[in-house]
Structure 1
Amino acid sequence: MSSGTQFSQPSLVDRESIADAPNPLGLEGVEFIEYATSKPQALGQVLETMGFRPVARHRSREVLLYRQGDINVIVNAHSGDQGAYRGQGDSSALTEKPVIVAMALRVRDAAAAYRRALDRGAWAVPARVEVMELNIPAIHGVGTSRIYFVDRYKEFSIYDVDFTPIPTVDQRPPAVAGLHFFGVVQYIGNDRADDWTEFYQELFGFTMLPGTERFGILPKGRILRSPCNTFYLQLIEPEPGVLDVEDDECLQRIGLGTPDVPATVAELRKRGVEFVESKSAQAESRGALTRSYMGGVMFELVHDKRPVA
């Protein structure tokens, strides 16, 4: 999405049936976050230290599914023509530093959500589906990332088609200390907060929280709440005085909720996770931040007592 992107003008029917709906795409949460890296084993070790377990392999690509509780993370090391799991393309070559290349959203009807997003001005990602793979519709997100729409996530999921379970591995490993998906931090360019707020409001129905409502220990930026009230997006601009970094816009890190941050920090430390301890960011009851792994992989813990499905 380039600076100054304009949304297509909806028809009167679209305006009445989509814009006025509190949840226009039928959002129901996040299905997975996808990383791409040329060092999948190293990232896998980081994830396992955080409590994730590899539960399935993609049938035709070098892609692994990691899970704990209801959180799914895909690690993609596929270096073929399509790059990442769902057609990242040659424009994003794999690097040792893991990059978040996709976010999949749970919706009631994937095809309908995709059509409505396009009607509201989203940019479609051309489908490149191989034999025995599902066609999961996607639109362009920040940078070179993709946003997918998934409606198969209950009894029959997308992984039942695209992935093969790893033998003898528990397919539903329990979450460490009640960890659950809380949100995603997105880095944006200078003076781009309004542009990205409009993007998420117009396409998905996100709402902007007041400046007094903040979570965790890193309260900077603007926070948007999903229309299903299950996750948040935090938009963070560069520090004042920093030159324009629009080309560096990206999904930067995952936020994980927990009902007891100190207990979760203690458990993760036993597993070998190290946390940032500085004047501006240190583990406390509101939240904590892991140190950076592999040049940029971080996880933010946020106090959250919401019941987890």
Structure 2
Amino acid sequence: MTFSPPLADSSPARAEGFDLAAYLGRIGLDAPPPVSLEGLALLVRAHRMAIPFENLDIALGRGISLAPQAIFDKLVHRRRGGYCFEQNALFHRALAAMGFHGRPLMGRVWLGAQAGDVPPRTHQLELVTLDGRPWIADVGFGGSLTPPLPLAEGESEAGPDGVRFRLTRDPDHGWLLARLGAPSYTEVTAEEAARWQPQYSFTEHPVFPVDMEMGNHWTSTRPGTRFTSLLMVHRITGDGFASLIGNRLRLRDARGTGEAMLETPAAFRRALADHFGMALDGEEATRLHAF
């Protein structure tokens, strides 16, 4: 097994060799924003709108590499997407290159967990310190845009999509992030969206490359999980989202929600290009459509 270089300390030195200009171009920014809360929020939003959340390489049998250059090539140069271990690893290096100070955290995803089960630590997010105050930043959890949140108990203000977030202390699992608001690609019903739903818990414990390798391996290989049995692609748009679950495309914007079944590999391929900015070849589209 190949391990990624240590990521526990984020500093400009850790970002040596990172092509910041290419990353900024990928997320639609001409220059780095200021090292501030406003700058961090801008980066989170730009990243989420540009780089889709997706797991297609699992279905294609390629696996998920956490080697820094492999992630950069995939998400930036090849304009693909990825899931939390890829997205937040890329974001971590980008933040360091811009002078932000952060480190990765690991969490347990409670959204969709079976009652009575404790989910494994299979989510990566980022802890960023600004003016001595810790904030969580996450570009790798699908669904609604999660803005940077102060690491303190309390509720956020409602975002543009009407969604609110709440952080609370959990006696067994550190911190618990919950969400209240409009349905998203996670297929929650309107009734479910009207009450607080746990998203994931996390601790402030140091995270090492082996922790992320283990979480990534479980997520990308465990039979019968959402990531190994279902295709997922999601992207935040200016006033809504686009999502592809299996062969079902869903779009939401200020005008409402639309849905279509993609009946052919060609339609699947066009949808990936038109709504997610991803170019796959015909063979890849055929394999994914039949998955």
- TM-score, normalised to structure 1's length? 0.27
Instruction: Indicate the structure with greater helix content.
Output: 2
Query: TM-score under structure 2 normalisation?
Result: 0.28
